[in-house]
């Protein structure tokens, strides 16, 4: 099968590599002729490239399959442009991190033109080339079925994890690492919640490791103790110098919290045991916010996912005004002075 890819950044490039490696062919679009050339050198006959859209479209077999893999902010305009060049029956895929609201709107806008639209939430990050990508697909069933050979090649495949006890017979798509989740937007919806969970799970580890990291607080001499904090009732219980990097390595085997995130954490802490290469300002990329928004719309509680999100905001200093309000109140009723120093 042939795939057209717009965007040959890390994700797009590696998806192309996976399908070509599995016997498919690809057409790539990039404004950068040099990049196209390098790619052609690497992939040989299985790859053709173009630096303008009409040429790119002309290289595609009908019905064309165009996967757009560029930053979410630019995706809308590119899809509009491409849609003008495509013909009824062609398929446009947004594999980036668009908010699923956009998918609902785009699918509706493209339908009168006879164009099919799929949204594919794609997880795997920098490891996808090696591990395969977990694919969450939204759109019409016919189009999903049409591109299934490509999905199989991009996804990790059933061997990537031990089979779930009780599952038998032909592995389901989910077991192979891709799933048609529902109509337009369903793929990005599931990907959004996936990332929301990721925020929560990451914060669970981070908070726990912080507790281990401070387990020696009872060793501080009292006169060194900050006046800002209540003195410890029981310093004898906080005399531990825990080797946090080794603990994360330990938990990888046999524990309930073993996970891929933990594998990565153990690797990061092995490479930089004191985390000196990080500043502690944590970004967020939208999906965590949208997940909490969705929880609120649905009226379901998400205290853990929202706490994880807000901790990132706080890490960037965004609670400063609120904190000053607290200090102002404390001074007003109790005469406490919490002066500028931050």
Measured from the CB of residue 221, what is the shortest distance to a copy of itself in angstroms?
A: 15
Residues 170-189 that bind a copy of itself (CB under 8 A): 172-179, 181-183, 185-186, 189
Count of positions on this chain that bind a copy of itself (CB under 8 A): 173
* Strand 25-29 relative to strand 47-50, pairing: parallel
The tokens describing 292, both together, are: 């909490």
Q: Is 299 in the site for a copy of itself (CB under 8 A)?
A: yes
Residues 104-163 that bind a copy of itself (CB under 8 A): 104, 123-128, 131-134, 136, 155-158, 160-162
**Of 198, 220, 249, 338, which residue is the catalytic one?**
198
Nearest residue to 218 (alpha-carbon basis) of 206, 209, 205, 229: 229
Selected from 55, 141, 145, 264, the binder of a copy of itself by CB under 8 A is 264
Nearest residue to 67 (alpha-carbon basis) of 112, 37, 26: 26
- Judged by beta carbon, residue 48 or residue 291, the one nearer a copy of itself is 291
Measured from the CB of residue 53, what is the shortest distance to a copy of itself in angstroms?
A: 25
The set of residues, in sequence order, having a beta carbon less than 8 Å from that of 95 and lying 6+ positions away, is 11, 12, 15, 67, 68, 69, 120, 122
Measured from the CB of residue 268, what is the shortest distance to a copy of itself in angstroms?
A: 4
The verdict on whether 191 is a catalytic residue reads yes
Measured from the CB of residue 103, what is the shortest distance to a copy of itself in angstroms?
A: 10
Rg (CA), the chain: 25
Name the segment binding a copy of itself (CB under 8 A); options: 20-28, 84-92, 139-147, 196-204: 196-204
DSSP for 291-316, written as a single string: HHHHHHHHT---HHHHHHHHHHHHHT
Place of tokens 């908010």: 99
* Binding map of a copy of itself across residues 37-56, x = CB under 8 A, - = no contact: --------------------
Tally of CA atoms within 13 A in the half-sphere of 216 that contains its CB? 8
- Judged by beta carbon, residue 87 or residue 241, the one nearer a copy of itself is 241
Selected from 166, 169, 170, 223, the binder of a copy of itself by CB under 8 A is 166
Instruction: For residue 138, give the 3-state DSSP assignment.
Output: strand
Measured from the CB of residue 243, what is the shortest distance to a copy of itself in angstroms?
A: 8
Residues 14-33 that bind a copy of itself (CB under 8 A): none
The verdict on whether 318 is a catalytic residue reads no
- Judged by beta carbon, residue 25 or residue 259, the one nearer a copy of itself is 259
Q: Is 324 in the site for a copy of itself (CB under 8 A)?
A: yes
- Judged by beta carbon, residue 85 or residue 201, the one nearer a copy of itself is 201
Nearest residue to 5 (alpha-carbon basis) of 59, 74, 62: 59
- Judged by beta carbon, residue 88 or residue 317, the one nearer a copy of itself is 317
- Judged by beta carbon, residue 86 or residue 104, the one nearer a copy of itself is 104
Instruction: Report helix angle 10-21 to 33-43, nearest 10.
Output: 30
Measured from the CB of residue 42, what is the shortest distance to a copy of itself in angstroms?
A: 20
Task: Report d(CA 321, CA 340) in Å as an integer.
Answer: 12
Instruction: For residue 37, give the 3-state DSSP assignment.
Output: helix
**Contact of 157 with 174, CB cutoff 8 Å:** no
Residues 198-217 that bind a copy of itself (CB under 8 A): 198-215, 217
- Judged by beta carbon, residue 33 or residue 77, the one nearer a copy of itself is 77
Selected from 37, 62, 101, 111, the binder of a copy of itself by CB under 8 A is 101
Name the segment binding a copy of itself (CB under 8 A); options: 32-40, 61-69, 81-89, 241-249: 241-249
| Burial classification of residue 173, based on how many CB atoms lie within 10 Å of its CB (0-12 exposed, 13-18 middle, 19 or more buried) | middle
Task: Report d(CA 94, CA 138) in Å as an integer.
Answer: 10
Task: Report d(CA 214, CA 226) in Å as an integer.
Answer: 15
Give the length of the chain: 342
Q: Which residues are catalytic?
A: 191, 198
């Amino acid at each position: 099968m042939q795939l057209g890819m717009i965007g040959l950044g890390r994700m797009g490039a590696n998806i192309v590599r996976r399908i070509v490696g599995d016997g498919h062919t690809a057409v790539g679009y990039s404004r950068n002729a040099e990049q196209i050339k390098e790619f052609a050198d690497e992939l040989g006959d299985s790859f053709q490239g173009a630096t303008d859209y009409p040429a790119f479209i002309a290289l595609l077999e009908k019905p064309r399959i165009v996967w757009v893999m560029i930053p979410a902010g630019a995706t809308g305009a590119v899809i509009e442009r491409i849609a003008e060049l495509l013909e009824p029956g062609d398929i446009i895929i947004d594999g980036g991190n668009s908010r699923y609201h956009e998918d609902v709107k785009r699918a509706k806008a493209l339908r009168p033109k006879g164009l099919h639209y799929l949204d594919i939430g794609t997880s795997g990050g920098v490891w996808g080339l090696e591990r395969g990508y977990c694919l969450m697909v939204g759109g019409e069933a016919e189009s999903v079925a049409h591109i299934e050979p490509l999905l199989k090649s991009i996804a990790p495949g059933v061997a990537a994890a031990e089979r779930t006890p009780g599952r038998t017979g032909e592995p389901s798509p989910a077991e192979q690492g891709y799933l048609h989740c529902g109509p337009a937007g369903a793929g990005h919806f599931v990907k959004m919640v996936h990332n929301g969970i990721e925020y929560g799970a990451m914060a669970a580890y981070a908070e726990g490791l912080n507790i281990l990291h401070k387990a020696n607080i009872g060793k501080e001499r009292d006169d060194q103790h900050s006046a800002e904090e209540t003195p410890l009732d029981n310093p004898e219980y906080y005399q531990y110098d825990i080797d946090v990097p080794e603990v994360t390595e330990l938990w990888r085997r046999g524990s309930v919290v073993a996970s891929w995130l933990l594998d990565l954490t153990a690797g990061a802490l092995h490479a930089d045991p004191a985390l000196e290469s990080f500043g502690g300002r944590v970004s967020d990329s939208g999906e965590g916010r949208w997940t909490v928004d969705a929880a609120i719309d649905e009226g379901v509680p998400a205290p853990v996912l929202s706490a994880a999100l807000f901790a990132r905001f706080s890490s960037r200093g965004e609670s400063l005004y609120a904190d000053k309000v607290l200090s102002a109140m404390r001074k007003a009723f109790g005469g406490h002075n919490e002066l500028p120093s931050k």
